[in-house]
Chains A and B, each alone.
Chain A
Amino acid sequence: MKQEELQKLQKLAAHIRFDAIQAIKNVGQGHIGGSLSISDLLAVLYGKQMKFNADDPNWELRDRLVLSKGHAGPALYSALAISGFFDEEKLSTLNKGGTSLPSHPDHLRTPGVDATTGSLGQGTSQAAGIATGLKLRESKNFVYLIVGEGELNEGQCWEAFQYIASNKLDNLIVIIDDNKKQLDGWTDDVIKQWDIASKMRSFGFNTIQVKGDNLESIDDGIEYLKTTKDTANCMVLDSVKGAGVPLFENMENNHSVKFNDDELNSQTDEALAKLQSIYEG
């Protein structure tokens, strides 16, 4: 990747983080940790890899993204707003009555959202169905499915993975955001996941692992999986919950953060200023 392009993606990732944190802080609480852990991934997808038309969100020839870990909606909304699907100012309406930006993505309310998710596990099968439909239509477009590693507790994920692998849906890239924490704590303490990549391989997926904060590795990984045909493809993102912002990385319970004390609010403002200087710099 050229230095210039890398810098563009770095700025985009910082911008997504800034907007997501600000939107969540504005409403007082929300899913910070899981939004930040996929910000770099979203920067690569919306900044480079995905085909879309912000002026025509339902463009037939677009790639699709299914955010099965729907609680990371604020990060997706930020990526969509920055990409031009709607005004960034709208992000301040997150979770407010009558908003078009509910905590979990809703394809009927938000331009650019391809599937409604939130009840964990269900995005996996929807993405599998979208990939099947695109194949039947002989479309060349891709479907990107983002699943949380905690979400893998849901049996439906494994039902969908069997289906995807059995049908060799090579137009669908399964991305597992392995940020190692779920609501109740460390994933290994709640329901141990063992080696996720090995599990996916044993389910028939061509599987790679990349660092969740390495934009170039993510981009190379997606490029490789897009060109690997006649097999199911998976990328396990070795990520950090709260990634990119030390304040939240180091917070023990960072799944959903409440902004109800002055110290946290001022620390968050400092973090926001830092992110802003990156994307505006």
Chain B
Amino acid sequence: MFKLDERRENGKELRNVVVDSLMDLMNKNDKVIALDADLAGASNFNRIKSAHGKSFIDVGISEANMIGVSAGLSLTGYTPYVHTFAPFVARRALDQVYMSGAYSKNTINIYGSDPGFNAGFNGGTHTSYEDVAIMRSIPETIVCDPADAVQMEWIIKEFSNLGQGIHYVRGNRKSVRNVYAENSSFEIGKGNLLYEGSDLLIIATGQLVSEAIDVHDELSKIGISSDVVDMFTIKPLDTDLLLERAKNKRGIVTIENHNIIGGLGSAVSEVMAEKMVGVPLLRVGNEDYFGQVGTPDYLQQAYGLTSKQILSKVKKHFSF
């Protein structure tokens, strides 16, 4: 069960949420192991190294090796959690994630950090607007993009209960706005209907769920009522909720910090086409551009992903 946090203030840094959640798990389970590829100073996994030295491995700058070592740990009964920047696991270590991980049915829990515009000053080389597309095309994976710190904590802990497989979560390292009240709980594969409306179905994922709520609020001021669904599990997608909430709507909007090719927008449109949901769709996200350097705020603006920009795209697309 979840409750909304109406204050919508910035929460705890997501990297610290991951670290604290892992240390909670490690206190109860000595089979949980954290690995990083020379980014422990960036992910704050260094804190795990200090407090749980035996349960932390720094493989150095070798992401492919990190995934393989994790597979070997899984083969000996351990539950590895790995961190690196999203592109360095989804792009660089793809074949390792595929063969040593997914195909072998080994358990590897992956935190790909700073997706999309969060890459900031690391720029285009370190930007991933395609990690969701890559990870969700591998059979049997679970792919999550949490809305906030509360959800990130729940996901990290839930991953340890899922058994074998590749479980991928992307997320900023820094803080994002809170959506949920403390101690909210969720269900993998179930979207969360945050607001109910009759005109529009807004489906968002990741930190842009907050922007979706802003858009919902602004639309209500002009008499447009909308659903807001937090589709934090992009795979498996909650098709039941999608089809149920799509009924009698004037339009559907997807919002993601990802390329509109291959991510949430694609996943939703695949279902809509197959199930013949005859409702106009607007996919908001990166419209097939490479990343670039700048502050995250600048980049969010540059890719048209602020709530103000999303609102104006929605109004234009549906002639509100």
Interface of A toward B, CB cutoff 8 Å: 106-108, 114-116, 118-119, 121-122, 124-134, 136-137, 155-156, 159-160, 162-163, 166
Contacts and interface: CB of A to CB of B under 8 A. Distances in A.
Given A132-B57, A136-B54, A159 B64 contact: yes
A119 B95 contact: yes
A198 B123 CA distance: 40
B241 interface: no
B80 to A, nearest CB: 8
Given A116-B99, A133-B78, A126 B62 contact: no
Give the 10 A-B residue pairs with the shortest CB-CB distance, closest first.
A129-B72, A125-B68, A133-B76, A159-B65, A129-B69, A159-B62, A130-B72, A116-B104, A126-B72, A125-B65
A125 B99 contact: no
B100 A125 contact: yes
In the complex, which of the residues A124, A127, A137, A163 has the most CB atoms of chain B within 10 Å of its own CB atom? Answer: A163
A127 B72 contact: yes
17 contacts: A106-B104, A108-B104, A115-B71, A116-B99, A122-B64, A122-B95, A122-B100, A125-B68, A125-B96, A129-B68, A129-B75, A130-B72, A133-B73, A133-B76, A136-B78, A156-B96, A160-B68
Most chain-A Cβ atoms within 10 A of its Cβ — which of B60, B72, B99, B100?
B72
Nearest to A121: B64
B121 interface: no
Interface in B98-114: 99-100, 103-105
B67 interface: yes
B269 to A, nearest CB: 32
Given A122-B68, A129-B75, A136-B33, 11 more contacts: A106-B104, A107-B75, A119-B95, A122-B99, A125-B69, A130-B73, A132-B69, A132-B73, A134-B76, A136-B78, A156-B62
Contacts of B78: 133, 136
A120 to B, nearest CB: 10
Interface in B63-87: 64-78
A165 to B, nearest CB: 12
Contact of B96 (A122, A137, A166): A122
| Best-surrounded residue of B67, B73, B105 (most CB of chain A within 10 A) | B73
A115 B75 contact: yes
Contacts of A106: 104
B59 interface: yes
A133 B99 contact: no
Contacts of A160: 65, 68-69
Tell me what chain B mostly uses at the interface: helix, strand, loop, or mixed: helix
Contacts of A128: 65, 68-69, 72
A74 B66 CA distance: 29
Contacts of B68: 122, 124-126, 128-129, 156, 160
Contacts of A108: 104-105
Interface in B41-67: 54, 57, 59-60, 62, 64-67
Contacts of A114: 75
A126 B71 contact: yes
Contacts of B73: 129-130, 132-133
Contacts of B65: 124-125, 128, 156, 159-160, 163
Given A128-B65, A130-B76, A119 B71 contact: no
B165 to A, nearest CB: 13
Nearest to A108: B105
A127 B57 CA distance: 15
A107 B106 CA distance: 10
A73 to B, nearest CB: 14
Nearest to A141: B76
B70 A163 contact: no
Contacts of B33: 136
A106 B100 CA distance: 10
A124 B65 CA distance: 8
Tell which of B59, B67, B68, B103 has the most Cβ of chain A within 10 Å. Answer: B68
Interface in B139-153: none
Contacts of A121: 64
B75 A125 contact: no
B70 A118 contact: no
